[in-house]
Structure 1
Amino acid sequence: MRHGSLDTFIDRSADVLAQGPLAVVMAEDGVELATTLRHHLASGFRHVILLAPADLPLAPEVEALVQRVDHDVYADAALPAAVNRINDAAPEQWIYYCYNAEFLFFPFCETRSIRDLLSFHTEERRDAMLSYVIDLYAGDLDRHRNAVSLEDAHLDRSGYYSLARKDAERNWAAKERQLDFFGGLRWRFEEHIPWTRRKIDRVSLFRAKKGLRLRPDFTFTDEEYNTYACPWHNNLTAAVCSFRTAKALRSNPGSRFDIHNFRWHNSVPFEWHSQQLMDLGLMEPGQWF
């Protein structure tokens, strides 16, 4: 179903917003958009909400599967602002958000659904799940000039690190159970990335509640939502495998002509399987076996 604006969608879709988990996909362009939508539908989300420019083409058979909302995706902090609106309209529902050409992976996702994952996470009394945005990129930029290729996708197997997250309100003391994570293309090509956008952690799965706000850096105003684990043991984490940074580095004139290859000695082909991500330490199964 298509909606002319986010306001219209929220006003007319109380039944949809009451049936989670919900996936919110913001389309900045049409690159692998249908693939992104199908991936998240197959993951078990009850509804996928597509935020896209009104003139962005999409195959009718794919559009029929989602709730399409005409939206200004180029406004400042467009995705966090839209997620906050949906949060207010869907209390207690689990919500996931991403951009096109981004794909959610979680432990054992080949045989278990997102509903299985969130049921277990809820039983552990957790209302949010940390994810790491893992950069994907085409191995051959001569063949794939926008750096996007599902068949030739690569990722970095190492080069990831974390730093203590400081609390400005507590004299810059470290925040409890919070870290800033770095790595991937944003680390290797940091001269082309503003320092405010170099982190790769994103709280991309959360339970909506009144008054909660997602900030532009993809952390929440409720600090417990930003933690990687509860106080007593490690929790599940997920990975958002994303071509977005590679695509941006190849489309931005300031970086396009400086980058001829994203591959380095720590590049490996992406196997499109959760086991590879767990083996590389890029997501955590916690107590879920």
Structure 2
Amino acid sequence: MHYPSLAALTADAARALSSGPVCLILIEDAVAVDQTIRHHAALGFGCVIAFCDPAIALLDDVPLHRVDHDVTRPEALQEIVNTVSAAARGAWIFTCYNAEFLFFPFGEDRSVREMLTFVTEERRDSVMTHVIDLYARDLTAHPDAVDLDDAWFDGAGYFATPRLDPVGEPLDRQVEVFGGLRWRFEDHVPPARRRLDRVGFFRAAKGVVMGPDRRFSDPEYNTYACPWHHSVTAAICSFRAAKALRRNPGSRDAIAGFHWPKSVRFTWQAQQLLDLGMMEPGQWF
């Protein structure tokens, strides 16, 4: 279904958003669009919605909704998330951009619906995800830093710091995660975009909204685990930072390459990320 606006989508919410979980893909450019859509459609989402400029061509052999929307505006993600969640209360919602790929524990054998069923049984309303910056090894052959056949990521250099409240006290079970390209080349990345932690999944609920910093108004949504034990976390493997560093004239001229001794070739398998501690199954076995 093609919707000319976000308002048109929500006006048809009873039909468009009736089958969850819902996957929202914000398409900023024409890079890896088909691969992003196919990857997420195969994970078991009940509904895939692509938001993009009308000029961008999308697949016609994969079931999805298309919404004409300018996703390049700074407030686009917040606007889309809050509008869709208000129209789809109770639904699980996942968000990503093109050239980003979701991986979750045991994803080779289980569906995203199975994972969220378990999370719901644990009385959780969100799943913390960590962004893994992907990049091409050869920037001469791949000047936009995107190479799906030979993708790499940093196997070390990640760290987390406690998230603090306005008076400087640590918030319960909330951290801010750093690393990857945004850490190694932080001089070229605005402070607000250096974090790797992201609430990838959340359950739409009345009064719960996403703020400008991608955190939610309900503090529990921003936690990485239950109070009593570790919870499921997931990973979003993303070329987005690499694309931005190559697109910006200042960083493009200053960075000769992204590959370094701690680079690891990406196998496109969830088990690799589990083995490296990039995500965890919690109590899900």
TM interval, short-chain normalised? over 0.9
For residue 252 of structure 2, what is the aligned residue in structure 1? Answer: 256
Q: Which digits, 9 at most, give the CA deviation of each residue in 1:180-227, with x for residues without a partner?
A: 100000000000001111100000101001111112222111000000
Match of 1:139 among 106, 114, 137: 137
Kept in 1: contact 2:103–2:237 (CA 8 A): yes
The secondary structure found in structure 1 opposite 2:177 is: strand
- Is 1:285 matched with 2:281? yes
For residue 72 of structure 1, what is the aligned residue in structure 2? Answer: 70
TM norm structure 1: 0.97
Q: Once the 2 structures are TM-superposed, how far is the Cα of residue 57 of structure 1 from its aligned partner?
A: 2.1
Kept in 1: contact 2:9–2:16 (CA 8 A): no
% same residue: 53
- Is 1:265 matched with 2:265? no
Q: Once the 2 structures are TM-superposed, how far is the Cα of residue 25 of structure 1 from its aligned partner?
A: 0.1
For residue 101 of structure 1, what is the aligned residue in structure 2? Answer: 99
Matches within 5 A, 1:1-289: 1-62=1-62, 65-168=63-166, 171-289=167-285
Q: Which digits, 9 at most, give the CA deviation of each residue in 1:146-172, with x for residues without a partner?
A: 00011110011110000010000xx21
The secondary structure found in structure 2 opposite 1:83 is: helix
Q: Distance in 1 between matches of 2:22 and 2:50?
A: 11
Q: Once the 2 structures are TM-superposed, how far is the Cα of residue 56 of structure 1 from its aligned partner?
A: 1.3
Q: Once the 2 structures are TM-superposed, how far is the Cα of residue 29 of structure 1 from its aligned partner?
A: 0.4
Q: Once the 2 structures are TM-superposed, how far is the Cα of residue 9 of structure 1 from its aligned partner?
A: 1.1
Q: Distance in 2 between matches of 1:113 and 1:224?
A: 25
Q: Which runs of 5+ in 1 are unaligned?
A: none
Q: Distance in 1 between matches of 2:186 and 2:151?
A: 21
Q: Once the 2 structures are TM-superposed, how far is the Cα of residue 41 of structure 1 from its aligned partner?
A: 0.6
The secondary structure found in structure 2 opposite 1:24 is: strand
TM norm structure 2: 0.98
Query: How many matched pairs?
Result: 285
Q: Which digits, 9 at most, give the CA deviation of each residue in 1:100-137, with x for residues without a partner?
A: 00000000001000000000010111000000010000
Q: Once the 2 structures are TM-superposed, how far is the Cα of residue 58 of structure 1 from its aligned partner?
A: 2.3
Q: Which runs of 5+ in 2 are unaligned?
A: none
